[in-house]
A and B are shown apart, each in its own frame.
Chain A
């Protein structure tokens, strides 16, 4: 049957070629679409994680309500509010940072954690000033949790520990201030006190917003500038699996009043965007595969119609219904496997090329996951087999005697 199926395929060059092209485009299209989109999503995810880790632990902010104020005043009495309480209650600093770090060190899913102290300050040089985020980091533990160190293009993170009032500034911010390496810029804290700091490094993350508004310094330097010695605002945690961060965060949040948030909870808009993208991708691919399947169905259906007399003779010389079904299924299978393999090669080639295309700032990101290729191949082969099955079944159900009667 295989030999006959091959002869049928070869003898109908144009139809077979069209089927092959359809399957190839289906498989290749799936691979390219999925690889580029997942590559973009992975890139975005990594950008989010590389700056802020998998989980952040901060002091909880809370709306003040009648319930939250219960028992605060006149303990044991019923309080009737003439005008209900309002406002937000928060503590800028994490109360139990050391306790957290001790606890995190013993948790198996925690790879590493680091402390941070962060605040909004004003940064100025000459007549130029801008409101920026001053982030105090631990140069020793920060690289174990985030990739910020990799974005430092001049100098390195350890230089922050070589003295007081040393900072690493975003490339765009330095440009705005008209400064350069080793220049001194001033930082003004919320109390209006001015601190001169020296630029010992420059970083460029590719994210302009970050590069324009972020200054890195050692925790001690930031605590000094903020005039809050020993205080920590945030603990950033890296876990064994970023995709399970929300589960881990939930586990960590048990028995604490602090706010424990995973990267995906903190970036819910990003998640909804990626889900929407995936949804659109799936619809597009489904439509693509549907068109390919219809194409295969049409070609094979016509073939069954054209080959009725030959089906009749096959049945009269001892070939069964199943043999005729297999004959047409095999054609679908051969073409879909061949098209799938070519589609994989085209998909691989196209992805390799796409990866070299320079986008502003950095090259295009492509996901290189073998499962994308396997799914693309399986999807077109299964669709093609399904599309071949109906014509094959029709061929199997043809009665030889009916065909002979019709043709004589």
Chain B
């Protein structure tokens, strides 16, 4: 089963070509790390594959949907139910508690009551139960990022997109977050696409796609 299939994806910003005819296939349940130096195009590939950004040429099929050709409402529905995003910055809503932040995707489709138990479970699972009623400003950086991961998981997405989720964390919290991704991938079979510049974390993924100058330099499966 294919999670993402990209064919000849081109993304340019004016004269600068950030992605130069990239093709790749990611199977369901894979844990893929996209690596590369700054400006190699890894973030652009991440945004293009997730449908957050448009592409100039090529096609991206995600879970069977041509994500760039769908109407906006449909894209939002897919983002809500089938995708989870974690960014370098936690992007939690500062006025909401940890629990309310986690339940935000479920609120969109008025499923927050049904998801309440699962949200409590995630808080417990990520060891942030004590943060349940805390605002982001009352939590540590690691706790906020774990809340952000829990929010990404609340709808049981098929794919998690994580853009340098450990970029702002210390080593202990970084390892905790990476462990969570690994467990979610293993236990739930969720496809994880991780952007990182850290080789150690890239090796934790089953597969590493390395970019250079907007092209895939190598695509390897880790042992």
Q: Which residues of chain A have a CB within 8 Å of any CB of chain B?
A: 4, 7-8, 10-11, 309-310, 312-321, 323, 400-401, 404, 407-408
Contacts and interface: CB of A to CB of B under 8 A. Distances in A.
Interface stretch (B88-96, B123-131, B183-191, B213-221): B88-96
Given A309-B89, A310-B91, A317-B108, A401 B79 contact: no
Interface of B: 43, 47, 52-53, 72-73, 76-77, 79-81, 85, 87-89, 91-96, 104-105, 108-109, 151, 163
Given A318-B76, A320-B72, A408-B89, 19 more contacts: A11-B94, A309-B89, A310-B91, A313-B87, A313-B91, A313-B93, A314-B93, A314-B104, A315-B76, A316-B79, A317-B79, A317-B104, A317-B151, A318-B109, A319-B108, A320-B73, A323-B108, A401-B52, A408-B87
Contacts of B93: 4, 310, 313-314
Contacts of B89: 309, 407-408
Contact of A318 (B47, B53, B79): B79
A376 B96 CA distance: 35
Given A317-B79, A401-B47, A312 B91 contact: yes
Nearest to B101: A313
B219 to A, nearest CB: 25
Contacts, number: 63
Residue of A312, A314, A317, A321 with most partner-chain B CB within 10 A: A317
B105 A318 contact: yes
A315 B88 CA distance: 16
Given A4-B95, A309-B89, A404-B87, A316 B52 contact: yes
Given A401-B47, A404-B87, A318 B77 contact: yes
B100 to A, nearest CB: 8
- 4 nearest interchain CB pairs? A318-B80, A313-B91, A7-B95, A317-B105
Contacts of A312: 91
A197 to B, nearest CB: 83
Most A C-beta atoms less than 10 A away, residue of B52, B53, B77, B91: B91
A320 B151 CA distance: 18
A408 B52 CA distance: 15
A400 B85 CA distance: 12
Contacts of A400: 52
Nearest to A8: B95
In the complex, which of the residues A10, A312, A404 has the most CB atoms of chain B within 10 Å of its own CB atom? Answer: A404
Contact of B81 (A310, A318, A320): A318
A8 B94 CA distance: 9
Contacts of A10: 95
6 contacts: A10-B95, A313-B92, A321-B72, A404-B47, A404-B87, A408-B87
A252 B79 CA distance: 75
B135 to A, nearest CB: 9
A63 B26 CA distance: 102
A123 to B, nearest CB: 79
Contacts of B91: 309-310, 312-313
Nearest to B97: A7
Contacts of B105: 317-318
A321 B79 CA distance: 14
A310 B94 contact: yes
Contacts of A323: 108
A401 B11 CA distance: 14
Contacts of A319: 76, 80, 108
A317 B85 contact: yes
